[in-house]
Amino acid sequence: MSTALINARVLLDAGWRDDCAVLIEGARISTILAHDDPRVTAADHHHDLKGNVLVPGFIDVQVNGGGGVLFNDAPTLDSIRRIGAAHRRFGTTGFLPTLVSDEIDVMRAAIGAVQAAIDDGVPGVLGIHLEGPYIAAAKRGAHDAARFRLPDTEEFELVCSLRGGRTVLTLAPEQATPDLVRAFSARGVIVSLGHSNASYEQARAALDAGASGFTHLFNAMSALQGRSPGMVGAALEDAASWVGIIVDGHHVHPASLRVARAAKAHGKLILVTDAMPPVGADDGDFMLAGQRVITRNGRCENEQGSLAGSALDMAGALRNSIAWLGVDLDEATRMASTWPAQFLGLGATHGRIEAGWMADLVELDGDLQVQRSWIAGFASN
């Protein structure tokens, strides 16, 4: 069965096209056609986008919860389905359920649930993000420091055990040695640095050992100073690594984000939400690590006043990036889709509207509100 998406402004690798149709066969994009090509008329189904924008689906590598569900509290297949459905309303067609620092039994349940989701073909599940527990108490944020540790052999194997998906692991390089970073990287784990008070030299050693990303730049990491570049300095200087940014107006001042965009190598800045249960839910308050988190005006804050994730969705992050970072829709979309796909090693299958790529797509109206999405060729409505 074939589906033709017609009458859209389409973002291709070469730029915007207003005179083409996107043909989907099964789970993938089969070809990009001139709008008057006979194969468009011959398609089994047609979706008329009526001049709206069609972009690659958003990929969020840090999703703690959504739809009223916190993954740590309910690391189950059903929770993943609910979280994915909540975020899909905001254009997220690929995501990593994210587990903040927890005990090994919870980690085992979370990895097992993600494995089941991948095996069952739950829409959008690309792997798991383990944010800790190999992080530093000095930059714990809302994490429970009582759960911090280093892995033994059993836990190391558990972290490396996911099949058919990507595993991102956030760790602090002053806690985990370069040898441990190297060992995880050799097993295919994507090591991201964060929740760390590491020196520039410690961060640089972790990068040299195989780390390839930084978790929510500026937040819960050693700052850039004149004589002490810290983790932020290492992140901005390194040309090969990716950095996640939370563009919600609470985590990072827009001016700092603009500095990061100017300093970081092009194509290495990616949007993340660090989303919590309020996304796609009516109730904004929830429990995290035994503390109540209150959500007011889009800010999630625990009893100590620390930020505890966000109420941000990816469509909101895209709009905020255009408004505050001064990027155009083309670049904001690549920050939300193309470059996260590359960070995950999925750049040859996800994050672009090109023949052969997965048919993970988002339709946006003139106000950049999500109207419809496709995951593996299936439309949301």
> Catalytic site residues?
274
Buried-state track 116-150, b at ≥16 Cβ within 10 A, e below 16: ebbeeebbbbbbbbbbbbbbbeebbbbbbeebbee
Report CA-CA distances (Å) from 43 to 40, 353, 360. Answer: 5, 18, 19
User: At residue 171, what is the residue type?
Assistant: L
**CA pseudo-torsion sign 188, 194, 195, 196:** positive
As a residue count, the chain comes to 381
CA distance 359 to 352: 9
Rg (CA), the chain: 20
Label the pairing between strands 190-193 and 58-63: unpaired
CA distance 161 to 345: 17
At residue 176, the 3 state secondary structure works out as: coil
| Contact (CB, 8 A) for 309 and 277 | no
